[in-house]
Amino acid sequence: MSASSPDSRPPSIGRRTLLGAAAVATPAVLGVATPAAAAPSPAAAASARKKPRALPGGGDLGPNVIVFDPSTPGIQARLDQVFRQQESAQFGTGRYALLFKPGTYNGLNAQLGFYTSIAGLGLSPDDTTINGDVTVDAGWFNGNATQNFWRSAENLALVPVNGTNRWAVAQAAPFRRMHVRGGLNLSPDGYGWASGGYIADSRIDGQVGPYSQQQWYTRDSAIGSWLNGVWNMVFSGVEGAPAQSFPNPPYTTLGTTPISREKPFLYLQGNDYRVFLPEKRTNARGVTWGNGTPRGTSLPLSQFYVARPGVSAATLNQALAEGLHLLLTPGIYHLDRPIQVNRAGTVVLGLGYATLIPDGGATAVQVADVDGVRLAGFLVDAGPVNSATLLEIGPRGASRDHSANPTTVQDVFVRIGGAGAGKATTSMVINSRHTIVDHTWVWRADHGEGVGWETNRADYGVVVNGDDVLATGLFVEHFNKYDVQWNGQRGRTIFFQNEKAYDAPNQAAIQNGSIKGYAAYKVGDGVTTHEGWGLGSYCYYNVNPSIVQHHGFAAPVRSGVRFHNLLVVSLGGQGQYECVINDTGSPTSGTSTVPSTVVSYP
């Protein structure tokens, strides 16, 4: 798709393209030296052999965390080197974090490829200014940005060379805590297809131009203006956001975000690394950093076990049991058992898309029913042996009140297949009350290696059993049954993006009792209170275009279960929807890729 000029009319949108592009040693542990004069008895020696030595906090961030300061020579060359390696490595093993110490950098263009994160190391974005650009484009994929996944920008101020920074991304590519002193263009060069995206806690002084972006969610930010919308543009707590106007233009605008707590981030205090933990906000609006030091607390790196690829799950769990938090440096971690987060207030923070792969059918991460856990910035990749679950927030039956200090799951992404065969019955299960899921992409792969209706079988994407859960920026795609199944009371979702599984072989394969297909978003029959804003589901049954999906959304018909601004889209007529929600909403038809919408339900 192309457009001759970047005017306010969105280019026509085609279907998402299917074709894809195609060890560090465990850190040494520290022990306590035994005085030479005090030789241990045989029993004491045996006991000492059984008890693990205490693990160290802090330490080096490893070879794939590249730190620059304004005097570093050859910054552009190093950025270019990483980009060349990562530009088209969609399912590669490289992982990088590019960190910039506070100061001013001139004449840079940091192009970001796959599994690359760029971030400033100040307390405020304005502490680290790049007179230049942080660019995502789609030259590697012939101008198609729908596969520009898994990359991020955070905590920087940009002064774009031509006045506008280009950030043409798809899913799992957050733009957080950024200050763009100019405009932001969310489309690729040539205005090709694009399917994103997420902005939070950012200030864009000029205009944001989504152009060809099919959908976008912006939270707790400030913008100069917003140019256009294609299918689903959602704003909550955004100063300068366009007025509510769904479906034409397709803007869903909430004045505030009910509850938010920004993602933890690494920063420098003098020469020492710390991790800042922003405080919770209610009815939030605008950025957290606009009036000096942000509100929250911080932890020294010495309170983190700095993990390197190759470390075992047993060692990670030992660190947690000893009271340390986890900092996962870039790379791939194989787990033979779950990482067990049992202590209130624990932080598990990944850098550079650190990737957890559970082996032998294990769950990757399990969180106890405790206050204030923060999971952020990592990818969970299903292993070849089916896992019952990949990520569990709270055990089954969790019921404690966490309203004062909720658990947050932020920029935690899940993938089943693509990099190789993977299976998981349910990807993410949320049992703990008051959990906030703030930007996730839970994806059963539709391209890459190990892809097929049964090859990367994954029935459920996100299952919410806990009450009072809030999702802000929920992207869940291609599951064999329900993409989202929400059983908890008083749940809320602001922005949902979904595609049904492309590869269903026939109508019978998706038949749900008497209903044609499983809804993308299903609210449990026993739920009495639930609310959603700005939710979209798309179908593209390319294996069998005759498949009919009855609806995108299913919910009990009760006054307390309410939806605002829903849409379903048939991409190029490859399959069709009969309704939008339950038995309400016009069917899609033909090949025009025009959404069918419901503004309010019931």
Catalytic annotation, residues: 499
Residues in Cβ contact with 341 at an 8 Å cutoff, skipping those fewer than 6 apart: 320, 348, 365, 366, 367, 368, 373, 375
Q: Are 387 and 353 in contact (CB under 8 A)?
A: no
Residue 300 and residue 58 in contact, taking contact as beta carbons nearer than 8 Å: yes
Count Cα neighbours of 262 within 13 Å in the Cβ-side half-sphere.
Answer: 31
What are φ and ψ of residue 141, in 5° steps?
-125, 35
Tokens of 111: 């192009």
User: CB of 159 within 8 A of CB of 165?
Assistant: no
CA distance 582 to 561: 12
Buried b (16+ CB within 10 A) or exposed e, 166-194: bbbbbbbbbbbbbbbbbbbbbbbebbbbb
Radius of gyration of the chain (CA): 23
**Could you give the CA distance from residue 222 to residue 503 in angstroms, rounded to a whole number?**
40
Q: Are 552 and 584 in contact (CB under 8 A)?
A: no
146: left (phi over 0), alpha (psi -120 to 50) or beta: alpha
DSSP string, 35-71: PTT-PPPHHHHHHHHHSPPPPPPB----TTEEEE-TT
